[in-house]
C-alpha cells in the first residue's frame, strides 16, 4: 500500500461554503475537428514554498488570491476522480511551475454559487480568517522578486 503524503494545493474561499480548488486547463483541439477539448488539472505541490510562489504569481496576474492548504494526497486524488479532473504532483526540486498567462474569466465554483447548488461542501472551519490586503508597494516588491527568479 502506498503511504499518502502531504501536499499543498491552492484554494479559493477556503473554509467557506463556496470553497473552490485551483485548476489549470490542459488539452488541445483534436486534429481537423474544430472543437477544443480541455480538462481541468489540479496541481499538488510537494513544497509549500513552491505553492506559495505559484499563488503569488497568480495574484501578480490580477487573478483571485488563493490560500495555500496542506492536504493528504490521496484525498485530493479521490476528489479529482469524483470530479473527473486530472492531477499532477509538482516535485519539490522541479523547475518552477508558472501559471498560464490566460486565466478563465468565469470559474465553475462561482457559477455553482450563483445557481444555489444544494450539494455544497460544509466549511472546514466556522471562523472566517481574512488576510489584510497587500499594498501596491509590497505587491511591486513581490513581482520584482518573482521576476528575478525567472
Predicted confidence (pLDDT) at residue 124 exceeds the cutoff of 50: no
Mean pLDDT (the chain, rounded): 75
| Domains of the chain by residue range | 1-27+37-96+131-150
Pick from 93, 17, 76, 92: nearest CA to 41: 76
Q: Hey, what's the torsion of the CAs at 44, 49, 51, 57, to 10 degrees?
A: -150
Threshold 0.85, pTM exceeds: no
Q: What is the pLDDT of residue 83?
A: 93
1-27+37-96+131-150 CATH fold: Trna Endonuclease; Chain: A, domain 1 (3.40.1350)
Q: Which three cell numbers stand for residue 42?
A: 489540479
Q: Which residues make Cβ contacts (< 8 Å) with residue 57, sequence separation at least 6?
A: 98, 99, 146
Q: What is the pLDDT of residue 85?
A: 94
Pick from 134, 142, 6: nearest CA to 74: 6
Read off the pLDDT of each residue in 101-106 and give the average, rounded to a whole number.
51
Q: Which residues make Cβ contacts (< 8 Å) with residue 138, sequence separation at least 6?
A: none
In whole angstroms, give the CA distance from residue 49 to residue 73.
Answer: 17
Poorest-pLDDT segment among 77-81, 125-129, 143-147: 125-129
In whole angstroms, give the CA distance from residue 114 to residue 145.
Answer: 37
Q: Which three cell numbers stand for residue 131?
A: 488576510
Amino acid at each position: 500500500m502506498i503511504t499518502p503524503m502531504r501536499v499543498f494545493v491552492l484554494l479559493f474561499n477556503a473554509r467557506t461554503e463556496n470553497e473552490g480548488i485551483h485548476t489549470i486547463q490542459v488539452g488541445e483541439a483534436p486534429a481537423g475537428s474544430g472543437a477544443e477539448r480541455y480538462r481541468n488539472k489540479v496541481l499538488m505541490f510537494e513544497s509549500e514554498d513552491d505553492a506559495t510562489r505559484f499563488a503569488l504569481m497568480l495574484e501578480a496576474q490580477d487573478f483571485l488570491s488563493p490560500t495555500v492548504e496542506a492536504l493528504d494526497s490521496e484525498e485530493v486524488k479521490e476528489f479529482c476522480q469524483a470530479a473527473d479532473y486530472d492531477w499532477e504532483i509538482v516535485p519539490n526540486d522541479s523547475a518552477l511551475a508558472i501559471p498560464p498567462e490566460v486565466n478563465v474569466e468565469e470559474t465553475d465554483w462561482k457559477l455553482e454559487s450563483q445557481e444555489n447548488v444544494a450539494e455544497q461542501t460544509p466549511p472546514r472551519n466556522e471562523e472566517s480568517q481574512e488576510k489584510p490586503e497587500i499594498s501596491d508597494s509590497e505587491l511591486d516588491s513581490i513581482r520584482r522578486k518573482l521576476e528575478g527568479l525567472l
